[in-house]
Amino acid sequence: MLDIKLIRKEPEVVQKRLRLKDPKIDLAPLIKADKEWQAITPKLENIRAEKNRLAKEVGFKKAKNEDSSKEIERMSALKTQEAELSKEQASLEETVKTLLSEYPNLPFSEVPFGTSAADNVEIHRFQEKKELGFLFKHHVELSDALGLFDFERGAKVSGRGFPIYNHVASKIELALWNLMLETHQKNGFHLRMMPLLVRPETMYASGQLPKFESQLFKLKDEDFHLYLIPTSEVPINSLYRDEILEEKELPLLLTSLTPCFRREAGAAGSNERGLIRTHQFYKVELFALTTPETSPNVHEKMIQSAHEILETLELHYRDMLLCSDDMSFAAAKTVDIEVWLHGQNRYYEVSSASNCSCYQARRSNIRYRKKDGALDFVHTLNASGLATSRLMVALLESNQKEDGSIHLPQKLAKRVGFEVIRADGTIT
């Protein structure tokens, strides 16, 4: 959530920066409601002061056995006015809060302006795309030949977008989870196992609600009103909601593995079939709470930890600094790490590393006490470390051989206990 004090002080500057993300953004409704809300405060103060004065007057008159009916009548009228104004103030306060929740975070100054993903800027790459030199297969074709995934039975059980991982694919997936969690813990991130169902206020705190309500799976009946998490960033962000941390505790570096649930999925028959875009997938999350001064360095630390995994897996990748239009709602700066997928003939994101500045912390009311005793909001950061579905695609498609087999990278092969997956179903 944005700082209302900053909007009051520099409305034109804030609106100009917000329009880098969305040119249609207009702060006028918020500014109007906020001014009306603020204008009620002195009116209430005057009424209460008048009531106090009259109460004293009534007391004096009663002590002298004098008539105080006019003062009592006036106090009754003031009480009615006070109640009406207090109700109006509460309504305007809720309006201001609602409007504030609908505005995205302000982009940092180093974020390039852009109107689409085409304006993102490549800032780093590891190795180059692997040239296979033969007519390669899409990962769905590899799966059909090697029995890796069962998309049809997954659809029978839960619907399209819920793939089943068969034995060999499951072993690879488990090995990837362990590799990621071990790497991140080595790099200073502490493991958390998080709930998969969360309350509406938890979704609101991370910026998912109200904007992304239609993209979420939810459970709502007479006993429960909960949401399935789209990423473990959501519950981790609320771990310290409404708390005050000490500066010496920061940065807090956390990692978690969970399934992620999202309603959006690629259209039937599109190139995004198979594992590219599903309703359920697994992801290792990196999350940090920092001081404003240390958040840029922690952002880089998260990116480097994700890099380490991709380099261990010998996968070509590139880092893209997202332009203003392509960033997420809550992000002030985002670097996407993308791998090349041969079957799609394009790069796909496997990690999105975002510095959300104090935006989520304001929604979550997470503050820290500085050494001088002053309170300030923390910065929150998140990154995929990594999303395994597209990572699996990259591993399968880039390591396939002309005979239809797949040769896993050496360090992954040691973890799963086999290196070669053959078309006849054998592994060695």
Instruction: Catalytic residue, from 143, 295, 352, 364: name it.
Output: 352
Domain 28-101 has CATH 1.10.287.40: yes
Global confidence as pTM: 0.92
Catalytic-labelled residue, pool 17, 262, 273, 318: 262
> Does the active-site annotation cover 349?
yes
Q: Which residues of the chain register pLDDT less than 50?
A: 266-269
Give CATH 3.30.930.10 domain extents, the chain. Answer: 117-421
pLDDT at site 81: 95
- What tokens were used for 182? 């071990």
Q: Which of 390, 397, 398, 405 is catalytic?
A: 390
What topology is assigned to 117-421 in CATH?
BirA Bifunctional Protein; domain 2 (3.30.930)
Asked if 277 is an active-site residue, the reply is yes
| Domain span(s) for CATH 1.10.287.40 in the chain | 28-101
Among the listed residues 57, 349, 415, 419, the single catalytic one is 349
